[in-house]
Structure 1
């Protein structure tokens, strides 16, 4: 029977060849995307493992492996918006552990840098970057210690005496080699959800392609049953075609992935691009995809043509199934209720949160699939009730008779739109809530100020007058404001909702002479010499992050001579916003105050570091929406072609009775548009509801509507899907001629 099935598949004429090409193309698209996602998951895992050595100590060395501990101080630096990882180390002996990518630790007065950072050090003016890292260049990091080819990492050698007293320094005896961070797990989880969101529409398309001309094929298979074929033999014949096409598509998918693997590895799934060696497939991935996809296609084909196995005469005895009932909405409502229950009851652990939210999302996705036929049926009834022309009435009647078939063509789209709309809603809200406040954007003086934070407990050393003069001499620097610790400030005080701002003691003190040079961030009262100011010259407590020249800081009861003896809280260097001024000031501050976990920063950088990755996920999600909608359009087109082939004779009879071809085209278009638009609205709305419930439960945020670009993206994808469906309509003229009306 396999040979017979191969003959029908490869020598069955134009119709069989078209069906073969459609299934193979759908599988090729799905396999390519699936391989990209699997390689992305492997790449993120390898990326995390390459950078594990930067996150602290590994397992304790065994008794037979003596090791001299090493002092390590890890921090971050910034240059033109790019984050630099800086690690100061001090070996205590010749057997100190060495991270991957190096043969030895840099000694005092030496540094080693990653290739990307070495290029920056070479190309940028020394006063803006290289002067931050004094010493001799002692080598380059190898790829084994770099999460990405673009990683900016520098390791600076120090003496144990220099590092042992630094804040946040740690002493380690071994290097961590395994990475399993929460961020990495979330990226892998996101990619896994994306894989599901992409592969489901493709599997649905396979099923739709298998059903092309299902009515006539079922009659032929029923005839085979009448001449003695067993149900098993008929199942084998029906599955061979899909299996062969899926195998061809799978091979083509592997070929496409191999051809485009190098440029695809440049995509920053986790915020930075991969090493090409990390963007790979494991043997398990190859076996699962290579064997699983053809097997899934065979199962889809068998399910698609299961009606043949009713009986040899079952095809001619079929009756219209009962209409779907409203109970199908209950699983969907249960999933929404599960997410709603956790609002105000967030699980305390990360694993508990993942289990709670993923379980709710899974129930919602299952509920959408179960409720789909009922929603299609109700949509058809609504169209029928509003119908004023024959085309709408015929289309609504057909959808009402077979709502499962109408929904089946877009069932894969449900998951894709639900996942992507939920992701867009979450990302948009997090971007808005965690982004730089609008009030701060209106104060360019503050957003271009370089800040050194000494900590609020003990503070740091006072800034010498000569050094302050050097900072003021930098072209583009407008003022230097040292902020000292305020002895009257209570770090545990939290103002209530109706607190009086005048009653709040600010954490810092600043000289009015320094504030007079930078009036954009407030001024002193007349006659005052010392004022109470916010730590970064911002109004943190009362939601006003960018004070203006009109704000008057409260006068402090501290003499000016005592102010100079108080520890430093922060140093705020205001600039004109030029890159040269910002980076030169940052370099001077970092060289003057080394061995701090956090290098001098801009207030804007504090808000924007996490947003780059969120924006990349938003772009990736929008791409998924478009691809999923196009795949759904292909599925609809296949469904239209299959339905037209199955209804050639009824449509031909309608044309013989005087029905215009344009009317028949409207019938077919409405049969496709009703489930497509209905599912898009319901799935998108459900995704937004799930996103809002997640945000309320996990972050206590309220959903913010996506930007207009999201709706344009969805509209463009729906338009592309509709265009694909429209491309099949010219087939009506060819297959509804008088010859098709005769009895076979």
Structure 2
């Protein structure tokens, strides 16, 4: 056997694919569409790393906080303030800018700076502000739009961002929210910390889980129309072709379909890339040009898919006897063997076993063993499912006519039924394992904030030096606010790191942090019984001179001191609105010394009326009206690691794409199977079989393999999930709602595909379908 003979036979198969009449074209088209969908998703996957890297590069290029403690005003300096906000749960990146000279650096995406009262916005923010949904946000941004930000200044196509011109920002410089800069971008290249081993394991597992269903479907797509193709190949045997040559010709036909599928995949990818620019999932959006596949990985896909098509076809025909007078496929085949199918998942468990108990404190997980073990377990689903379907349907008893038609069809071709649901079974198995891993480790990446959302729902931190005395009245009058508590705070410093907290507020507001016997404006109190009693005892003594912290975050300020007066009234510290119990000095507004007033920062603790729609937005608007640099927070009892959230977001985006592919692939598979049975369905209708009976039989033919596939997927997914949890050293627990939800999603996809296939099924169920040329 030489390469020339292989090439000749493969070429003959390619000619049959294009010159085999309508049947050949339909088969090539179905294969190409199926392979194309898989290739498109593979290309998208290879493009994601470049898209993320490009987003990160643009984010670094526009970095504007260099944390330099002191930089003098110059011709090339700019004062910039962080004015980030949120609107309807979407983040808004905002910057107030004041150039101090003609050579002030201009950020990427801008050609000039807006004048005071003007702003440049991202295209998406402009659309939002121009729409009816952006009315409340327009009140918060009272600037005139004079242009848009270019793509180089945005991390994503759907990002909400703006630059607004401002005046007198220099007095607010604190090196944190407001800074003086002379360049954009990081001043020095930073090296990222290595990823937590558990998170790396999560990424590896997610990578395999998301790509395996794609590979399974591509392998199934190249076998579309297999039965009709094999019958056509019998004619080749009649004119002298031997069995090996016939199989090579069949492989050439599949190779042709896969090559056309590569072209379809490239087209689908380009269409999907354009669509990606208008889609945002979990606050992640990209520009179409960002989705640029790595040339090496794209070449790998282009080589692997045709090779897989040839190998899968040769493997599929190993048990088919193609003779000159027909195809020996309908005879009772030998029962599928179980032993070698069990070796795959057992081998996967063996590869993962050495890492059980390793956790995140005993070194990194072996990447090759993780990928190999998870792949073998998921491939085990595809190997075991045909055996399970065959074993179960062989034992199914009699029933209605629809049931008998479905069962008999499954008994004759259980392999094709199993192939159709292999993709969804692998996806569900992987999703269950991922859900268990997420649920098991999220506690390690979640910490309590100490905030009590049942007591306070929002907090607004005003800038230092802002007069917060009218805040209580303004926020209390805000739509959706039930109650607002306003407290100021500053720090008094002693020797070393010893500091004492000073809290400023009205008598009513001070009673939120301490028990007061009596109070009137002008009083000062010394609160004990909380955190900081040792510092209070050390520093708060009558006549003691204490330094006032004027650093304003990172910038050193002029030295100022406060002498502790005698006669401070006693008070008992209690749990305050911020969830802490703080000892320290309490002052009513008129008791605050003038030298201390400019370093007191006000905080507003807000209780909301949940019945008022957009209450959060009304609070943010009030805060922005008082202080454009106000920091508004929605309280939550817990917060998660940013890395963990990013990975979870990425997995969700990938799972959405995979589910869409699976739905489309199942629909193509269903249509292909219906096309194969066109004459059979027409014959049954001609003999008087009701259409309802045939429709129910098709539903049973889909439902039985799917039910078995979901049961097998649940078993394998639970096993893999338990092993992964043991690997990270976490208590093993099954999140049954998530398991049932994953199985339900899989069943819902299949149900939707079945419903979509009913119209073409009804068109096929006509006696005219018996006509032939």
Which secondary structure state, in structure 2, belongs to the residue aligned with residue 600 of structure 1? Answer: strand
Cα deviation digits, residues 434-476 of structure 1 (max 9, x gap):
9999x99984x732x333299xxxxx77965456566556666
TM-score (norm 1): 0.66
The residue that corresponds to 1:19 in the other structure is: 27
Provide closer, same or farther for how the CA distance between residues 711 and 514 of structure 1 changes in structure 2, counting only shifts above 3 A.
Answer: farther
Tell me the matched-pair count.
668
Deviation at 1:349, TM superposition (A): 9.8
Do structure 1's residue 416 and structure 2's residue 427 form an aligned pair? yes
**2:408 and 2:359 mapped to 1: Cα distance?**
47
Provide closer, same or farther for how the CA distance between residues 717 and 524 of structure 1 changes in structure 2, counting only shifts above 3 A.
Answer: same
Q: 442, 450, 468: which is aligned to 2:459?
A: 450
RMSD: 6.3
Cα deviation digits, residues 590-639 of structure 1 (max 9, x gap):
44xx5x8xx22222698699889968965873674364255246436646
Deviation at 1:366, TM superposition (A): 2.7
Do structure 1's residue 680 and structure 2's residue 710 form an aligned pair? yes
| 8 Å Cα contact 2:121-2:148 kept in structure 1 | yes
**2:261 and 2:708 mapped to 1: Cα distance?**
31
The residue that corresponds to 1:175 in the other structure is: 185
**1:121 and 1:723 mapped to 2: Cα distance?**
41
The residue that corresponds to 2:227 in the other structure is: 212
Which secondary structure state, in structure 2, belongs to the residue aligned with residue 683 of structure 1? Answer: helix
Which secondary structure state, in structure 2, belongs to the residue aligned with residue 209 of structure 1? Answer: coil
Do structure 1's residue 602 and structure 2's residue 666 form an aligned pair? no
Which secondary structure state, in structure 2, belongs to the residue aligned with residue 410 of structure 1? Answer: helix
Provide closer, same or farther for how the CA distance between residues 510 and 43 of structure 1 changes in structure 2, counting only shifts above 3 A.
Answer: same
The residue that corresponds to 2:662 in the other structure is: 628
Which secondary structure state, in structure 2, belongs to the residue aligned with residue 101 of structure 1? Answer: coil
Do structure 1's residue 53 and structure 2's residue 61 form an aligned pair? yes
Q: 359, 366, 374: which is aligned to 1:346?
A: 359
| 8 Å Cα contact 1:482-1:571 kept in structure 2 | yes
| 8 Å Cα contact 2:663-2:753 kept in structure 1 | yes
Matches within 5 A, 1:201-240: 201-213=216-228, 216-217=231-232, 219-223=234-238, 227=240, 229=242, 231=244, 233-240=245-252
**1:180 and 1:251 mapped to 2: Cα distance?**
40
Cα deviation digits, residues 9-59 of structure 1 (max 9, x gap):
34435543443333233234434444555555544443232222245899x
* Residue ranges of structure 1 left out of the alignment (5+ in a row): 59-66, 455-459, 488-506, 540-553, 740-744
| 8 Å Cα contact 1:332-1:363 kept in structure 2 | yes
Provide closer, same or farther for how the CA distance between residues 405 and 79 of structure 1 changes in structure 2, counting only shifts above 3 A.
Answer: closer
Deviation at 1:412, TM superposition (A): 2.9
The residue that corresponds to 1:363 in the other structure is: 376
Provide closer, same or farther for how the CA distance between residues 149 and 424 of structure 1 changes in structure 2, counting only shifts above 3 A.
Answer: same
| 8 Å Cα contact 2:157-2:277 kept in structure 1 | no
| 8 Å Cα contact 2:120-2:146 kept in structure 1 | yes
Greater share of residues in strand: 2
**1:106 and 1:152 mapped to 2: Cα distance?**
17
| 8 Å Cα contact 2:433-2:720 kept in structure 1 | yes
Greater share of residues in helix: 1
The residue that corresponds to 1:550 in the other structure is: none
**1:269 and 1:635 mapped to 2: Cα distance?**
28
Matches within 5 A, 1:139-288: 141-154=149-162, 163=173, 166=176, 175=185, 196-197=211-212, 199-213=214-228, 216-217=231-232, 219-223=234-238, 227=240, 229=242, 231=244, 233-258=245-270, 261-269=273-281, 271-280=283-292
* Residue ranges of structure 2 left out of the alignment (5+ in a row): 1-7, 67-74, 493-500, 520-570
Deviation at 1:410, TM superposition (A): 3.1
The residue that corresponds to 1:544 in the other structure is: none
Matches within 5 A, 1:175-574: 175=185, 196-197=211-212, 199-213=214-228, 216-217=231-232, 219-223=234-238, 227=240, 229=242, 231=244, 233-258=245-270, 261-269=273-281, 271-280=283-292, 293-307=305-319, 320-321=333-334, 323-326=336-339, 328-329=341-342, 331-332=344-345, 335=348, 345-348=358-361, 352=365, 358=371, 360-380=373-393, 383-384=395-396, 407-422=418-433, 443=454, 446-447=456-457, 449-452=458-461, 465=469, 478-482=483-487, 484=489, 513-515=507-509, 527=517, 532-534=573-575, 536-538=577-579, 570-574=603-607
Do structure 1's residue 586 and structure 2's residue 623 form an aligned pair? yes
Provide closer, same or farther for how the CA distance between residues 30 and 285 of structure 1 changes in structure 2, counting only shifts above 3 A.
Answer: same
Which secondary structure state, in structure 1, belongs to the residue aligned with residue 227 of structure 2? Answer: coil
| 8 Å Cα contact 2:663-2:750 kept in structure 1 | yes
